Structure 1
Amino acid sequence: MIRSLTPEADSVLRDRAFVQLLTGRITATLATQIQSVVVGWQLYDMTRDPLTLGWVGLAQFLPMALLVLPAGDAADRLPRRLILTASWLVQAIAGLLFLALTLSGSQSPVGFFGVLVLFGMARAFAGPGMQSLLPQIVGEARLPKAIAWNSSAFQVAVIGGPALGGAVYLLGPAFAYLLCALLFASAAVSIAMIRRRLPARADTTRQSAFARFTAGIVYVRTRPIILGAISLDLFAVLLGGATALLPVYAHEILHVGPAGLGLLRSAVAIGAFAMGVYLGRNALERRAGAIMFAAVAIFGFATIVFGLSSSFVLSFFALMIMGAADMISVFVRSSLIQLATPDAMRGRVNAVNMLFIGASNELGEFESGVTAALFGTVGAVVIGGAGTLAVVGIWMALFPALRRVDRLSDVATTRTTPD
């Protein structure tokens, strides 16, 4: 089912335009991770109110949720390279605004929340722009491999970004914000320097704005393979959100303190990164749909093991397996979505995918907190893992077309462009 790639198929890493896109992704994600640590620490230090941290997330999520569908439409009508460049430049400006607020000595979080709203608006456009630009640059033949490397690059930044943010904060928040602004600007330059001629955008001017904004939802709803893949991830992550309860495990169950908590948080990303590198160097030959379902089931089993574990080593490896299994699911799902969607629709369909991912992450943390309050921490994680296994069984019955997907490239023949 999985075979090593030939040297010719490895050409994606020798593609200058792809490397520039990858460099921009790593740089921007590093900046986002650093800024997240610094903003959270600075505002909590300012207010000493844990609720402040909740407002930090909400200030970014709400504008992203409101704008992601129009952003997807923009990615299908305007040059995607321009959208991504402009988005990262706006995020660089947000870093400079944080710097200005810090240098002014402001002790009110209101201004910071305003900048976070601007930052969330920019991120709403970056997501569809990035995901829909990737197929244009690498082409469909190399797309699954490119997705694997792109996901691995993201995991590298997720692993290193928070630790780097904590270290940089020791030099002061002002220095950290300046560094973030420079990193975002560097990412924008990396994309702006891509010289490859890309296909022209589709003409959708005959459609109303509402029709354009909702076209992605309509397309996903009428394609069982895409709907099944996106909704499977939504409910699996929603129920299997053990990572939201890691602070409780580190403090009360594993007794490993803040240092251990940092290692536990890294374990998921390490597993995902290792699997991403493997998938980047090896082709998924056959039974892609069945492999995705198996990976989500492994994710559920590993979640149960983690929930019942009182050993730090076992918990660490369970989290690594969760990360590796999730990477397989992400790889197959992303490949299916990109290959089953015509280029003229990729921005809007990727926007719907982003909306589902955002909802699963945010609601998953909320679900974990509620079930932990009702059934205890261990009970919440075990119930979540069992729920993930149940979702796998139900989705295999509801979406047989997804279960029967063999080669990833086969789904490209099923796509159509709506009028």
Structure 2
Amino acid sequence: MENSRQQKNLYYFLSARFLATLSTGIMKAGLAWHLYDLTGSKLHLGLLGLFEFIPLVVFALLGGKISDQYDRRKIVLFFNTFMVIATSALGFLDRMGALQIWMIYALVFLFGICRAFFSPAVHAILSNIVQSGHFPKALAMSSSLWQLGVILGPSLAGYIYAAFDSAFWMYNASALLRVFLMFSFFLIVGQNFTAKPTTHSGSIYEGLRYVWKRKVILGVSSLDLFAVFLGSVVAILPAFAKDVLMLDAVGYGTLRSAPGVGAALIAFALAKYPIDKKIGQRLFITAFGFGMSIVALGVCNSFVGAFIALFFMGAFDLVSVVIRQSIVQMRTPDDMRGRVSAVNIVFISASNELGDFEVGVVAQIFGIVPAIIAGGIGTCLVAVVWPLLFPSLRKLNYYTDVEQTVPERNIA
């Protein structure tokens, strides 16, 4: 990162990452509150996750393949353009009183399609900008700004919605921020963001085969899949805030930002003191802490207690994210990063968005609090079982430790 062009590009990338997260935070938190305000249904909140998950699973592998063949910067710009148009249109429809519930789901579905293509490109671009030796620190810096966006986005959504009693300004604020992030990506120049074709350049399923052969990468991806799937509680926070804690839109926005506050503080610490040893042990410890934080949230009946529980949930999750992404990116060649990132995104989407649907269904049937507590316990169990299933990941000391791969003949 000593090169001035790399430093400038990293600055522009981090700015764009922050703006993207801020925009997404406003949109998703605002959508959830707006939808619950319109329907009062926890199942409808869960369906938001399902409608984002379906296109991600369908298109993510193709998105990874495209990311490994074309200019990753242009991919990000192209698909964000669609998000600007769609989000603005939803705002104007709400302003005219013509907004219907299916239109909200349509926006989420479109966001899932766009994310399937631009997310693999974004993950790979950071690896193009910085050298591998600086990657964990750069990732921590990126995560810091990402979490700052996570903090501010939901809070801004709550304040905007409460101040204007309308979703119009909320949707258009999200769209405007995406315009600014596109401008930041325009400024990233002077480096090659297209992977060189090699022996890995082939099928869109090459990423799946690559992950399956490498048990450390498979372990971190599947850990995220099951731990976060069971512990996905953010989707029903509007219901928890409104029906359990009796909060308004501002209170919900503040509560929704609590995980980001905890994550941001940890991210700034990791940027200065990156985790560089006992990687596997620390990953499983943080996963267990994440689950316990969710259990604590379920037994809280006050705003302060819930905020603290969500604060620690975000802090534990951030450490896990930095470790997982560092392992995946540092152990993957550049010409495979798009497809491997796409596989990782499918795992993440299955855990987050499908987890949102799962918790919405469980909350609708059994209640909000039982759904949260059961999810936290399930996450803790995953954190206990996974070290036994993936001993190579448990024993991982350094990111660069050599890993034995599964022979090709074992790959279906």
Task: Pick the TM interval, shorter chain.
Answer: 0.7 to 0.9
Aligned equivalent of 1:286, options 277, 283, 292 = 277
CA distance 1:343–1:51, change in 2 (3 Å): same
Question: Secondary structure of 1:349's match?
Answer: helix
1: CA distance between counterparts of 2:41 and 2:288? Answer: 38
For normalisation by structure 1, the TM-score amounts to: 0.84
Compared CA separation, residues 315 and 81, structure 1 to 2 (3 A):
same
**In the alignment, what sits opposite 2:184?**
190
C-alpha separation in 2, matches of 1:393 and 1:351: 27
Question: Is contact 1:12–1:145 with CA below 8 Å preserved after alignment?
Answer: no
Question: Which piece of structure 1 moves more, 364-373 or 160-169?
Answer: 364-373
Aligned with 2:67 (options 75, 79, 90) = 75
Tell me the CA shift for residue 258 of structure 1: 5.4
User: Structure 2 counterpart of 1:354, which letter?
Assistant: I
AA partner of residue 23 (structure 1): S
Does the CA-based 8 Å contact 1:10-1:281 persist in structure 2? no
Aligned to 1:399: 390
Residues 148-175 of structure 1, C-alpha deviations (whole Å, 9 max, x = no match): 1112212111211122234445286555
Q: What letter is aligned with 2:378?
A: G
User: Is the CA contact (8 Å cut-off) linking 1:103 and 1:174 kept in structure 2?
Assistant: yes
Aligned AA for 1:274? L
**Structure 2 counterpart SS, 1:285:** coil
2:13 aligned with 1:21: yes
The 3 A distance-change label for structure 1 pair 241 and 104 is closer
Cross-structure match for 2:381: 390
**1:2-29: CA deviation from partner (whole Å, max 9, x where unpaired):** xxxxxxx899999211110111111122
Most deviating of 374-383 and 16-25: 374-383
Asked if the contact 1:341/1:416 (under 8 Å) is kept, the reply is no
Secondary structure of the equivalent of 1:213? coil
Q: Does 1:157 align with 2:159?
A: no
Task: Supply the AA of the counterpart residue of 1:164.
Answer: L
Q: What percent identity do the matched residue pairs reach?
A: 38
SS of 1:335's equivalent?
helix
SS of 1:74's partner is helix
The reply on whether 1:222 has 2:213 as its aligned counterpart is yes
Q: 1:104 Cα deviation (Å)? A: 6.1
Does the 8 Å CA contact 2:51/2:108 hold for their aligned counterparts? yes
Per the TM alignment, residue 293 of structure 1 is displaced from its structure 2 partner at its CA by: 0.8
In structure 2, do the counterparts of structure 1 residues 383 and 55 end up closer, same or farther at CA, with 3 Å as the change threshold? closer
On the 8 A contact 2:36/2:239 being kept in 1, the answer is no
CA contact (8 A) 1:339 1:411 kept: no
Give the Cα–Cα distance (whole angstroms) in 1 for the partners of residues 245 and 165 of structure 2: 32
Change in Cα spacing, 1:285 to 1:12, as seen in structure 2 (3 Å) is farther
Q: Summarize the alignment of residues 320-399 of structure 1 with structure 2, pairs less than 5 Å apart.
A: 320-372=311-363, 377-399=368-390
TM-fit CA distance, 1:311 = 5.0
- Provide the rounded CA distance (Å) in 2 between the counterparts of 1:248 and 1:172: 19
Could you tell me how far 1:356 is from its partner in structure 2? 0.9
8 Å contact kept, 2:132–2:330:
yes
Matched length: 407
Amino acid at match of 2:256: R
Which amino acid is 1:201 matched to? A
Matched with 2:140 is 148
280-289 or 67-76, which deviates more:
280-289
Tell me: CA distance 1:374–1:142, structure 2 relative to 1, closer, same or farther (3 Å): same
Structure 1 pair 117–205 and aligned structure 2 pair: CA distance change class (3 A): farther
CA contact (8 A) 2:236 2:359 kept: yes
Ranges in structure 1 where 5+ consecutive residues have no aligned partner: 1-8
8 Å contact kept, 1:101–1:111: no
Residues 296 and 329, structure 1, Cα contact 8 Å, conserved in 2: yes
Report what 1:6 is aligned to.
none
Residue equivalent to 1:121 = 113
Alpha-carbon distance change, 45 to 365 in structure 1, aligned in 2, over 3 angstroms: closer
Aligned counterpart, 1:130: 122
> What SS class does the counterpart of residue 286 from structure 1 fall into?
coil
SS at match of 1:321: helix
| Other-structure match for 2:174 | 180
What are the superposed Cα offsets for residues 286-313 of structure 1, whole Å, 9 maximum, x if unpaired? 1111111111112222333333344543
Secondary structure of 1:410's counterpart equals coil
What SS is found at the alignment partner of 2:306? helix
**TM-superposition CA deviations, 1:165-204 (whole Å, max 9, x none):** 3444528655544443332122112112112322642337
**Residues in 2 aligned to 1:269 and 1:327: alpha-carbon distance in whole angstroms:** 9
The runs of 5 or more residues in structure 2 that have no matched partner are none
Q: Report if the CA contact (8 A) 2:61-2:205 is conserved.
A: yes
* 1:97–1:380 distance in 2 versus 1, CA, 3 Å: closer
2 CA distance for matches of 1:260 and 1:238? 26
Distance 2:116 2:206 in 1: 17
The 1:272/1:111 distance shift into structure 2, 3 A limit, reads closer
